[in-house]
A and B are shown apart, each in its own frame.
Chain A
Amino acid sequence: MVLVFLVISMRARLEALGLAVYPVAFGLVLVANLTPVVPVGDPVLRGLFLPIHTTLAFFGYAALFVAFAGGILYLVQERELRSRAPRTFYYLIPSLERCDTLSARAIEVGFALLTLAIVTGLLWSHAVHGRYWTSSPKEWSALVAWTLYVVLILARQRTGWGGRRAALLGIAAFAAVIFTFVWMNVLAVPVSARTP
């Protein structure tokens, strides 16, 4: 995530994004360090699809998180501007349009990665369980997130949607992404026991 942020900041020079990115990256590293390493002996973890799937998903999550952070910054800055009495955040956060375009770009990239991650995930599922769709909550939430992002991207492109509503929808979609991520990785449900 920090890597994705660094690439973005090289291109856009958006230091304020660090407000949101660094604390979360710190938290994730902390969780990763505190979580006991599960021995990777499970045969289902061995296929070729899984590493590709996780890599794509990881970068997709990072990009979508940046979009989510952009949305939060947008809402905070909008509130500052509406209050007509600026406080600290007004000075730190970049302009509304900047937050908006940042979210839009990050969602385009994140959505492409998410799509590929879902496809490889389905292929992996087929290789392991013999079925593409196993109806697990993880699959459903991934589908929900994916659908929300499709709606958001289409709305932006077709009707010039943006601003506050786009920020809110981006945040909602990311909530679904978090559910997908947490279901799999942090609740640490054993992979073989996860599906019927």
Chain B
Amino acid sequence: MIVVVGVSHRTAPLPVRESLAFAPDSLGEALRRLRAEAGSGEAMILSTCNRVEVYAREEEPPAPDALEAFLCAYHRRARAEVQPFLYRLAHEDAIRHAFRVAASLESMVIGEPQILGQVKEAYQAAEEAGTLGASLNALRNRSLSAAKRVRTETGIGRNAVSVSYVAVELARKIFGHLRDKNVLLVGAGKMSELAARHLVRSGGRATVLGGRTFARATELAAALGGRAMPFESLRDELARADIVISGTGAPGIVIQEADVEIARAARRGRHARPLFLIDIAVPRDIDPAVRRLGGVFLYDLDDLRSVAEANLRERRKEAAAAEALVEREVREFLDWQKARDAVPLLNELRRRAETIRRAELDKVRRRLGPLTPAQEEALEAATSAIVNKLLHPPTIHLKEAARESDAPEQLSLIRKLLGL
């Protein structure tokens, strides 16, 4: 059976998660130690900033707290300190949890895309350390394919929930594509840089306006593959711009309504094109009055946050569909796993029948003496047919019984009846 023990953002504060985290390059060694100490044949460790989890296959009945003991011993933490934050799931619950984590349903920000890659890497590390057996490998295949279905078939990861991505998405909602759109950065702060990077990656062309610290503007312009201009050329640059990101540390308004009005009048042949203004400065850089102007879309930090919240609400709506999909996949996996439990019994049954058939055939041959090839063939066919027809109903029933909730009892009864 599969067991998982761990801490996550839901159960433990950051200091606890930090103290239990595994560095990527120490994973192999930790996995080998885990196998030696906890005595589980298969193990996998998932360590991200929001969760640390140890997955293992344990024999029945399981050692009650081998994984907990390992986790504490490895990080030299006292059991009593860590225990309140730990959760332990087994059987079906552990499998469901593995599916939900991979599908990003357990993430702090539902639908965030990084977790899938992190789960993949965790399985990869276990494979390299030689601790990934048949059970965990099956869990890996099924949970990752379910996670991919969730991403492609539901809208759980569709809308941006971080401020800089929201800005990019809004730009797409206004302009469609961003190829060759002129992006004007006023001020060279961290957040404007992040948003500008996204925009440039989508094909935008950056211009950075520098104020007192022109060196910083030149540096950022080089990083974005754009050009740097002095702040005095604001109106000319505004006339060229499609998207403006303003994030200066100035105490007052930097871009006045008149600046925007004049700049729009100066756009020859393009005055109807929209102008998207993003003000991420606190206090604000752009005069809110520019909202009155036609074709001007101004978003400040609060506006971007409210869009992000609306997007998150959309994601939560989609999460219901994702939950249902994951639940179906989990059920299928459990059925498959149970059907697999019947396989050894089925093989044994077939082997037994075949041995009896061969033995009886030999007896017949000894009594009848040499046979013609045609007779030999007829004898083979007749005996095989008897065996197959006799075994057909129990084979079907076994596969079905394995899916029932009382499978273990049913299987052992069948075993007894058939004398296996």
* Residue ranges of A at the interface with B (Cβ–Cβ < 8 Å): 77, 81-82, 84-87, 90-91, 94-98, 101, 159-166
Contact = CB atoms under 8 A, between A and B. Distances in A.
Contacts of B311: 86
A81 B174 contact: yes
Return the 10 tightest CB-CB contacts between A and B, nearest first: A160-B269, A95-B176, A97-B176, A162-B272, A84-B303, A163-B272, A98-B176, A86-B310, A96-B174, A95-B173
Interface centre among B170, B176, B297, by most chain A C-beta atoms within 10 angstroms, is B176
Contacts of B291: 82
Contacts of B270: 160
A172 B270 CA distance: 23
A91 B169 CA distance: 11
9 contacts: A81-B173, A84-B303, A94-B176, A95-B174, A95-B176, A97-B176, A160-B270, A160-B273, A166-B272
A190 B62 CA distance: 90
Contact of B274 (A84, A91, A96, A161): A96
Contact of A85 (B295, B310, B314): B310
Interface in B284-323: 291, 294-295, 297, 299, 303, 306-307, 310-311, 314
A160 B271 contact: yes
Contacts of A163: 272-274, 294-295
Nearest to B304: A84
Q: Is the interface of A mostly helix, strand, loop or mixed?
A: helix
Contact of B170 (A81, A98, A165): A81
B175 interface: yes
Nearest to A101: B176
Given A81-B173, A163-B294, 9 more contacts: A81-B170, A81-B174, A81-B297, A85-B306, A85-B310, A97-B174, A159-B269, A159-B271, A160-B268
Interface in B257-275: 268-274
Contacts of A82: 291, 297
B331 interface: no
Contacts of B415: none
B175 A96 contact: yes
Given A163-B273, A163-B274, A84 B176 contact: no
Nearest to A162: B272
A98 B177 CA distance: 9
B294 A164 contact: yes
A14 to B, nearest CB: 11
B172 interface: yes
Given A94-B176, A97-B174, A159-B269, A164 B295 contact: yes
A97 to B, nearest CB: 4
Nearest to B306: A85
Contacts of A77: 173
Contact of B159 (A91, A95, A159): A91
Nearest to B270: A160
